[in-house]
């Protein structure tokens, strides 16, 4: 009996101590599928709409409303539905909501049910979750290469640095275990390098270090130093990925980007120039959200300039939305897409975006949010779809480690290969010495 017998949602708390939704889906055969919903800070405007909380007297209000929707209207609609019919369930949820961005019931309410049902189906079928995801997606499973947050800025670190993330990609790792170990070495070497300079080693939202360095170049120098301190060779053993999160730098009134830490503004051309300079002088393999989410023309120019050498990932640009991705493909904007389940709102919609990315030759990067829980669904999502890359955050806090550790468990399956650097098909030969 794989039909839904009961749905129950509750409010739990995420890694920032903010309320979020957790959903239990119980099937007739007594199987429990549970999922918790993540939440972003540097969000794109076109994301599915979560019912979010304010602070003070509004604390808990948005999430409690979403929880109420799951326990009332959604539970009534999905009870009796077969959890193995994921696509039909997700369509039912989208139709029930009836709005474009899932604003009526809340994308967090809908996503919680979608993911919990998927887990219940996998458990009822006694199939590992990643294998069930692979079956739903029609993909060959495989282990992703992680990109691991080392230095944080932007909205994840009190704007201590202008750029949001500097990440390590353990390029020469031959296995997932080795990749995680290398990233841990780089992160702890980065902490040592900062301490040696008398700089703070405070933790940011994703467990990365938040030293408040003044420019991107200084941060990149620190990355190179950390890789070397870890006994590894920059450009060969470890390459660097960056998430500029440029939407949160965009000053609409000025029509330019505000690099507040540097004390200057930059226009589109100056941003492209700055980033191109980084890729020339440092072993940078991937840059996410280099420009604002609505600067399609700028994205096309950026992609013409750098797209044959590095990965250019659209996060706020695409918001895991198929139509926005298709627009990007038409315009030649970016060559990769960040995949976040809660930007989309359902599992089926997310799988659809991964399939569309692949069909267009765009690299999919499955990603966590800056607000996370112990839920490790995205590890199974990345492995099940063989996405090739995953971005979880740093290797320092339990919300992130839950996902790395789930990947370690999945890696026990001898049938699964490790993606290595296959997710970086355009990597410049010049990166390695
Ligand atoms: O910008 C991002 O890629 C994510 C994760 O790092 O951040 P947030 O969840 O705050 O959008
Ligand atoms: Mg991003």
Expressed in angstroms and rounded, the spacing between residue 371 Cα and the centre of ligand 2 is 13
Chain-centre distance for alpha carbon 349: 15
Q: Are strands 363-367 and 389-393 parallel, antiparallel or unpaired?
A: parallel
Token digits for 355?
A: 């399939």
Expressed in angstroms and rounded, the spacing between residue 316 Cα and the centre of ligand 2 is 7
Average pLDDT estimate for 420-426: 94
Expressed in angstroms and rounded, the spacing between residue 80 Cα and the centre of ligand 1 is 36
Residue ranges in 40-128 assigned as alpha helix (H) = 61-69, 75-78, 86-97, 107-124
pLDDT value for 122: 98
Looking from the CA of residue 38, the nearest atom of ligand 1 is 9
Taking each helix axis from N to C end, the angle separating 216-229 and 176-196, rounded to the nearest 10 degrees, works out to 120
Q: Is 91 annotated as a binding residue?
A: no
Report residue 433's pLDDT band, with 50, 70 and 90 as the boundaries: very low
Q: Which residues, in sequence order, are CB contacts of 116 under 8 Å at separation 6+?
A: 7, 23, 24, 25, 33, 34, 35
Report residue 125's pLDDT band, with 50, 70 and 90 as the boundaries: very high
Q: Is 164 annotated as a binding residue?
A: yes
Expressed in angstroms and rounded, the spacing between residue 42 Cα and the centre of ligand 2 is 7
Looking from the CA of residue 44, the nearest atom of ligand 1 is 11
What CA–CA distance (Å, rounded) separates 364 from 313? 8
* 118: three-class secondary structure by DSSP: helix
Q: Is 315 annotated as a binding residue?
A: yes
pLDDT value for 59: 61
| Residues measured by CB to lie within 5 Å of ligand 2, the ion | 243, 315
pLDDT tens digits, 306-360 = 999 999 999 999 999 999 999 999 999 999 999 999 999 999 999 999 999 999 9
For 319-364, the DSSP string reads TT-HHHHHHHHHHT--SEEEE-HHHH-SHHHHHHHHHHHHHTTPEE
**Ligand 1 pocket: which of 156, 157, 288, 342 to mutate (most atoms <8 Å of CB)?**
156
Average pLDDT estimate for 51-66: 75
CB-CB contact of 40 with 315 (8 Å):
no
Q: Is 327 annotated as a binding residue?
A: no
pLDDT tens digits, 234-270 = 999 999 999 999 999 999 999 999 999 999 999 999 9
User: Annotated active-site positions, please?
Assistant: 206, 340
**Ligand 1 pocket: which of 340, 341, 399, 400 to mutate (most atoms <8 Å of CB)?**
340
Residue 369, ligand 1, Cβ within 6 A? yes
Beta bridge partners of 339: 366
For atom 5 of ligand 1, the residue with the nearest CA is 369
pLDDT tens digits, 176-211 = 999 999 999 999 999 999 999 999 999 999 999 999
pLDDT value for 1: 85
Token digits for 136?
A: 């739903």
Residue 40, ligand 1, Cβ within 6 A? yes
Looking from the CA of residue 205, the nearest atom of ligand 1 is 10
Residue 245, ligand 1, Cβ within 6 A? yes
Residue 42, ligand 1, Cβ within 6 A? yes
Q: Is 53 annotated as a binding residue?
A: no
pTM of the model: 0.97
Average pLDDT estimate for 74-96: 98
Report residue 56's pLDDT band, with 50, 70 and 90 as the boundaries: low
pLDDT tens digits, 355-414 = 999 999 999 999 999 999 999 999 999 999 999 999 999 999 999 999 999 999 999 999
Report residue 38's pLDDT band, with 50, 70 and 90 as the boundaries: very high
Taking each helix axis from N to C end, the angle separating 86-97 and 347-359, rounded to the nearest 10 degrees, works out to 110
Cα-based distances in Å from 375 to 26, 93, 253 = 17, 21, 39
């Amino acid at each position: 009996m794989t039909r839904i017998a009961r749905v129950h949602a509750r409010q739990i708390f995420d890694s920032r101590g903010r309320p979020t939704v957790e959903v239990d889906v119980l099937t007739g055969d007594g199987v429990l599928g549970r999922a918790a919903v993540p939440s972003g800070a540097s969000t794109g405007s076109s994301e599915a709409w979560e019912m979010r909380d304010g602070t003070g007297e509004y604390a808990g209000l948005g999430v409690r409303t979403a929880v109420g929707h799951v326990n009332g209207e959604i539970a009534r609609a999905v009870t009796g539905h077969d959890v193995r019919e994921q696509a039909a369930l997700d369509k039912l949820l989208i139709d029930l909501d009836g709005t474009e961005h899932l604003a009526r019931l809340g994308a967090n309410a809908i996503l919680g049910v979608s993911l919990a049902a998927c887990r219940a189906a996998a458990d009822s079928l006694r199939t590992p979750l990643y294998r069930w995801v692979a079956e739903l997606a029609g993909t060959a499973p495989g282990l992703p290469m992680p990109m691991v947050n080392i230095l944080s800025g932007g909205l994840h670190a009190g704007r201590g640095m202008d750029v949001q993330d500097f990440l390590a990609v353990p390029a020469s790792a031959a296995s997932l275990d080795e990749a995680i170990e290398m990233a841990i070495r780089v992160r702890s070497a980065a902490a040592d390098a900062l301490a040696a300079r008398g700089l703070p080693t405070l933790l940011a939202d994703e467990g990365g270090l938040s030293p408040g360095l003044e420019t991107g170049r200084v941060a990149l120098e620190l990355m190179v130093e950390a890789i070397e301190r870890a006994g590894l060779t920059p450009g060969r053993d470890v390459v660097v990925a960056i998430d500029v999160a440029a939407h949160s730098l965009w000053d609409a009134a000025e029509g330019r980007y505000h690099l507040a830490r540097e004390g200057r503004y930059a226009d589109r051309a100056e941003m492209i120039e700055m980033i191109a300079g980084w890729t020339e002088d440092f072993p940078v393999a991937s840059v996410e959200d280099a420009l604002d989410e609505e600067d399609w023309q700028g994205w096309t120019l950026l992609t013409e300039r750098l797209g044959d050498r590095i990965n250019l990932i659209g996060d706020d640009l695409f918001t895991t939305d198929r139509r926005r991705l298709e627009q990007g493909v038409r315009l030649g904007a970016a060559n990769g897409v960040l995949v976040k389940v809660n930007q989309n709102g359902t599992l089926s919609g997310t799988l659809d975006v991964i399939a569309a990315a692949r069909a267009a030759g765009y690299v999919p990067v499955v990603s966590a949010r800056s607000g996370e829980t112990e839920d490790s669904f995205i590890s199974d999502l990345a492995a099940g779809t063989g996405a090739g890359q995953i971005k979880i955050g740093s290797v320092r806090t339990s919300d992130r480690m839950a996902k790395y550790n789930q990947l370690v468990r999945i890696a026990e399956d001898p049938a699964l290969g490790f993606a290595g650097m296959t997710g970086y098909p355009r990597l410049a030969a010049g990166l390695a010495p």
